[in-house]
Amino acid sequence: MAIDLDAYLKRIGYEGPRDQTLPVLRQLHERHPQAIAFDSLDPWLGRPVGLDLPTLGAKLVAGRRGGYCYEHNTLMWSALTALGFEVQGLSARVLYSTPPGGGRHPRNHMLMKVETPEGPHVADVGFGGLTLTGPLRLEADVIQQTPHERVRLSRAGADWVLQVETGDTWRAMYQFGLEEHIAPDYEVANYYMSTHPRSPFVVRLVAARPLPGRRLALANNQMSVHHVNGPTEKRTIECVDELERVLVEDFGIALPDDPRLAAKFREVVEAI
C-alpha cells in the first residue's frame, strides 16, 4: 500500500515543492523529527511494533504518536519514494554508548541512502537524542553542519562511521556499510529490539525531540534540555501528572490508550 503523502506532509508541516532535489530532502529531514518524536512507549508497554504502512500511518501520522528508528525511517522512506526519490535501506552498529574496546553491537539501527542531483546522501530521522536534523553528503572527512550539531563521516575499512561534535569532542554515533537492506531484514531486527528483555527500549521509557536551538531528551523520569552550543538543563520528574504533561506538551506525543500506562508511569516516578 502507498503512503498517504498529503497526510504525512501535513503532519510534519511541509507545504513546499515536491521535486527530487536536495533542498526538498533537507526540508523534510529537518521537519520530520521536530514534528514526530522519538519514543519507546510501545516496546516499554509490551505492545507490538508494526512496520507496515497502514500501521505506521495510523500511529505516527493520524494518531500523532512517536516511535523509534524502524518506524521513523520506514515512514520517511515511503514518503521519499512517493516523491520520486531513489532510496536504499541501510543498517548500522550503534557505537555511541559503547566504550572503546567494549565489543561490537549487531546491526540493529536503520538508516537510508538517498540519491540527489548532488550525489548520494545519508538520511536518518530516528536516532533518539542525537537524531540527525539534516541529510549528510556521503563523503569522508568533511565537517558538515546540520540545523543542530556539526557532524562528519569517516571510513573504517569498507564501512562508514558517523561522528557528532559534542562540546569540544567528536563522538562516534554508529558504523554502517552500504549493503542494501530490505523490509524482511528490518522485521527481524525490529522484533528483537521491541521484545527482547534486555532491549533498551523494553526496559526503560525513552523520548527525544529536536527543536530549534535545542534538543529534549527523557530517560525514565530524567528530563534534559540540551541547548545547541550551550548548557544542558536537567531535572527529575517526580509525579505522574508531570510525566504525562511533558510527554504530551513538550514532546508532542498523543499517549496510547492503554490500561497499563498509569501503572508504568507510577513505577518510573516512584523509583527515585
Three-class SS state of 224: strand
Closest CA to 272 of 244, 246, 235: 235
Place of cell 537524531: 131
**Three cell numbers written together for 25:** 530532502
Place of cell 523494553: 202
**Three cell numbers written together for 58:** 495510523
* Catalytic residue selected from 29, 69, 72, 181: 69
Specify whether the CB–CB gap between 65 and 57 falls below 8 A. no
DSSP assignments along 182-222, one per residue: -HHHHHHHHHHHHH-TT-HHHHS-EEEEEETTEEEEEETTE
* Catalytic residue selected from 32, 72, 109, 226: 109
Q: How far apart are CA 120 and CA 105, in angstroms?
A: 26
Closest CA to 210 of 164, 149, 166: 149
**In terms of DSSP bridges, do strands 87-94 and 169-176 run parallel, antiparallel, or are they unpaired?**
antiparallel
| CA end-to-end distance (rounded Å), the chain | 45
* 239 is a catalytic site residue: no
* 72 is a catalytic site residue: no
Closest CA to 117 of 199, 249, 20, 37: 20
* Catalytic residue selected from 42, 124, 148, 226: 124
Helices and strands in the chain: count of H runs, count of E runs = 9, 13
- Residue 17 vs residues 5, 7, 42: alpha-carbon distances, Å: 13, 15, 34
Closest CA to 94 of 79, 111, 72, 113: 111
* 109 is a catalytic site residue: yes
**Which residues participate in catalysis according to the annotation?**
69, 109, 124
